[in-house]
Amino acid sequence: MIKVSNIFPILVWIRRYGKKDFADDFMASIIVTIMLVPQSMAYAMLAGLPPVVGMYASILPLIAYALFGSSRTLAVGPVAVISMMTATAIHNAGYSAVEDQIMAALALCIMSGLFLFVLGCLRLGFLANLLSHPVISSFITASAILIAFSQMKHILGLDIEKGNLLSTLSQLAENLANSNMTTALIGGASVIFLFWARSGIKPLLKKLGLKGHTVELIARSAPLCAVFVSLLIVSRMGLDQSHDVKTIGTLSGSLPPLALPHFDLAMWQKLLPSALIISIIGFVESVSVAQSLASLRRERIDPDQELRALGAANLTAGLSGGYPVTGGFARSVVNFDAGARSPLAGAMTAIFIGITTLLFTPLFYYLPHAVLAATIIVAVLSLVDFRSFIHAWQYRKADGIAALLTFLLVLGIGVEAGIIAGVLSSMLLHIWHTSRPHMAVVGVVPGTEHFRNVERHDVITSEKLITIRIDESLYFANSRYLENKINEIIAGQSKLEHVILMCSAVNEIDTSALESLENIGDRLQASNIKLHLSEVKGPVMDRLKKTDFMDHLNGRIYLSQYDAIKELSPDCCRAAKNGNSQEPDYII
């Protein structure tokens, strides 16, 4: 049973909500709004949509998340990677007219919202686990690089086609000479200012004696500051006319339209696969952020509830003229640092953005694309992270390979191909890894009841008996290998009477492995060798009891490996008791 308070976490926190909480939330919401206004427009541009769509996506979806979300501090809205994936999906589906692109974005929202909501109701949050950390991290790094270079055209004032990294770079190189110098100057200056603001502004303000929220407020205003300075310059000097600097132009200054988007079956079918991928990526990004922030304050989030909340946010985005949204990393951290106490901070942010959209959009007429592109570039480059790729590669080649594959395919082909390759390769490499499990022939450590690898330790064994410790769950991917390996181990052992499989690390035996065990038993029986199992775990044993496996087994199942030896090879046991106790250096 799902409790009502699980579905509406607001019912829990609202009871203890006090004045102090409200003051904190209010302050945080102002800081996030200042950050979100330019970002919303910039990310909408990245998604290939009119800037106002980004604003719409930052109003009602935030309120939907505030109602359903289980995280206290997650800030939902348009984010860079999802924006680019939206652009790619719409581009690949072949829509070039603005109206079609807006319709396609709404279709993506609705499908993505429904999908997330259904996953949440089915408690399928585990699907997000198919993405390993190295794959996510190299996906985000590659996407960030792709995004940064894709924005160079706005900085340089060039018109180039959407494509993979190589085509973007070659087009940039070809057209470099045609750059609009004024635009490039504005763009370049913005990039430099924003980069400096990221790290240089806070120490400066503190040196000036400012403190706390004031510092935070001013530091976060840097993008907004760039926006206002640039639009003052452009409007006063008429650069949009005289020097052809591209600006946003007229924005509709109305509240989001509330309407069911037009349903076009062909379009929805075309966009469905992209909607699914966008949902999963969005969910993974969001839940990772929510989880790390929650753990900092010892709060808990519920992944299935997060699915439903993001589903509701996207459905709302689809019904109010937005485009796919999710929890963003940077803005959630800002919200958290600014002291947000509850999802009310998000709801208040939504109200402030609503007011901005209604009243202040005419202000942005002269805002140059180049400045928005600069905010995107500076934002995404902070996501670039090669260190975790290097760590993965050093720690475990398989993870490094999956990450590398993702990275190369995102840059070479596209975000969707990259992420699919990442998921499939992680799964295949995991299965490959477990398909050749470590197995060790073990013997008794003298003077103890412990068993260790005969190749690494001085242990007591018997010619009549071989114990094989299997260091992996037995399932279809390694059942055949098990058969081969045991054949190999016992080949040429003429005095052998007993084979014991020590199952202390076998967490599962699936149907394929069960058949293989039966085959192994039959073959051993044909040579008058008995097959025994030892240290079989409870859950595995429960399952085995449901079958006739134990009736066919010509040996026994022993509780502990020592019991097995005691009964099957008393000599061995005696020798072990008389031997010296030499604890091995390390468990193998």
Residues between 289 and 318 that touch its own copies (CB under 8 A): 291-292, 295-296, 298, 300, 303
| Residues facing residue 466 across a β-bridge | 499
| Contact residues for 29 (Cβ-Cβ < 8 A; gap 6+) | 340, 345, 346, 348, 349, 352
Task: Name the maximum alpha-carbon separation found in the chain.
Answer: 100
**Spatial CB neighbours of 396, under 8 Å, sequence gap ≥ 6:** none
Helices then strands, counting H and E runs in the chain, come out as 27, 8
CB 17 within 8 A of CB 342: yes
**Nearest-approach distance from CB 474 to its own copies, in angstroms:** 11
Helix (H) / strand (E) element for 188: namely: helix 181-207
Nearer residue to its own copies within complex by CB, 6 or 292: 292
Length of the chain equals 588
Sign of the alpha-carbon dihedral angle for 225, 142, 290, 40: positive
Site string for its own copies, 31-70 (x = CB under 8 A): ----------------------------------------
246 vs 396 by CB, closer to its own copies = 396
Residue from 456, 464, 485, 566 in contact with its own copies (CB under 8 A): 456
Please state whether 580 falls in left (phi above 0), alpha (psi between -120 and 50) or beta: beta
| DSSP three-state, residue 339 | coil
What strands lie across the sheet with 530-534, from one edge to the other?
451-453, 439-444, 465-470, 498-502, 530-534, 557-558
Smaller CB separation from its own copies, 198 or 523: 523
Report 258-287 residues binding its own copies (CB under 8 A).
287
The one segment of 25-33, 90-98, 410-418, 479-487 that binds its own copies by CB under 8 A:
479-487
Query: Could you give the CA distance from residue 168 to residue 412 in angstroms, rounded to a whole number?
Result: 11
Site for its own copies in 375-414 (CB under 8 A): 391-392, 394-396, 398-399
**Beta 557-558 vs 530-534: how paired, if at all?**
parallel
Beta carbons within 8 Å of 394's beta carbon, 6+ residues apart: 400
- Comparing CB distances to its own copies, the nearer of 211 and 300 is 300
Give the residues across from 247 on adjacent strands.
368
Shortest reach from residue 495's CB to its own copies, in Å: 16
Q: Which two tokens stand for residue 91?
A: 């581009």
Question: Minimum distance between the CB of residue 462 and its own copies, rounded to whole angstroms?
Answer: 22
Q: Look up residue 507 and give its DSSP letter.
A: -
The least CB distance from residue 159 to its own copies, in Å, is 35
Given candidates 246, 464, 480, 556, which one binds its own copies under the rule CB under 8 A?
A: 480
Site for its own copies in 488-517 (CB under 8 A): 488, 491, 504-505, 507-508, 510-512, 514-515
Measured from the CB atom, is 335 or 426 closer to its own copies? 426
Among 175, 461, 519, 525, binds its own copies (CB under 8 A): 519
State the minimum distance, in angstroms, from the CB of residue 104 to its own copies: 28
Q: Is 478 in the site for its own copies (CB under 8 A)?
A: yes
Half-sphere exposure of 388 (CA within 13 A, CB side): 17
Contact 92, 353 (CB under 8 A): no
Q: Cβ(323)–Cβ(89) under 8 Å?
A: no
Closer to its own copies by Cβ: residue 174 or 455: 455
CB of 301 to its own copies, least distance (A): 9
In angstroms, give the least distance from the CB of 548 to its own copies: 9
Nearer to its own copies, 508 or 571 (CB): 508
Lay out the site mask for its own copies across 426-445 (x = CB under 8 A, - = otherwise): xx--xxxxxxxxx-------
Q: Measured from the CB atom, is 240 or 302 closer to its own copies? A: 302
Cα–Cα distance for residue pair 259/46, rounded to 1 Å: 24
Angle at which helix 344-360 crosses helix 60-68, to 10 degrees, equals: 170
Helix (H) or strand (E) holding 531, with range, is strand 530-534
Q: How far is the CB of 24 from its own copies (least distance, A)?
A: 21
Tell which positions 189-218 bind its own copies, by CB under 8 A: none
* 475 is a contact residue toward its own copies (CB under 8 A): yes
Q: Which residue has the tokens 């295949």?
A: 428
Nearer CB in complex with its own copies: 252/487: 487
| Min dist. Cβ of residue 17 to its own copies (A) | 22
Between 193 and 549, whose beta carbon lies closer to its own copies?
549
Q: CA-CA distance, 385 to 406, in Å (whole number)?
A: 14
Q: How far is the CB of 135 from its own copies (least distance, A)?
A: 8
Shortest CB 139 distance to its own copies, Å: 13
Q: Can you tell me which of 225, 483, 489, 566 binds its own copies, judged by CB under 8 A?
A: 483
**Cβ proximity to its own copies, 127 vs 204, nearer residue:** 127
Whole-number CA gyration radius for the chain: 31
Residue number, 146 or 536, with CB nearest to its own copies = 536
473 binds its own copies (CB under 8 A): yes
Q: Does 476 bind its own copies (CB under 8 A)?
A: yes
Q: Which two tokens stand for residue 201?
A: 């502004």
CB-nearer residue toward its own copies: 252 or 394: 394
Q: Which is nearer to its own copies, 169 or 296 (CB)?
A: 296
| Region 131-170 residues binding its own copies, contact defined as CB under 8 A | 131-135
3-state SS string for 440-481: EEEEECCCCCCEEECCCCCCECECCEEEEEECCCECHHHHHH
Number of residues that bind its own copies (CB under 8 A): 80
- Cα dihedral 250, 255, 258, 259, rounded to 10, equals -10
Which residues sit opposite 19 in a β-bridge?
Answer: none
List Cα–Cα distances, 534 to 89, 356, 470, 555, in angstroms: 54, 70, 11, 11
Tell which positions 526-565 bind its own copies, by CB under 8 A: 526-527, 535-539, 541, 543, 546-547, 559-560
Specify the residue, 100 or 510, whose C-beta has the smaller distance to its own copies: 510
Which of these segments, 12-20, 159-167, 170-178, 469-477, binds its own copies (CB under 8 A)?
Answer: 469-477
70-129 residues in contact with its own copies (CB under 8 A) are: 126, 128-129
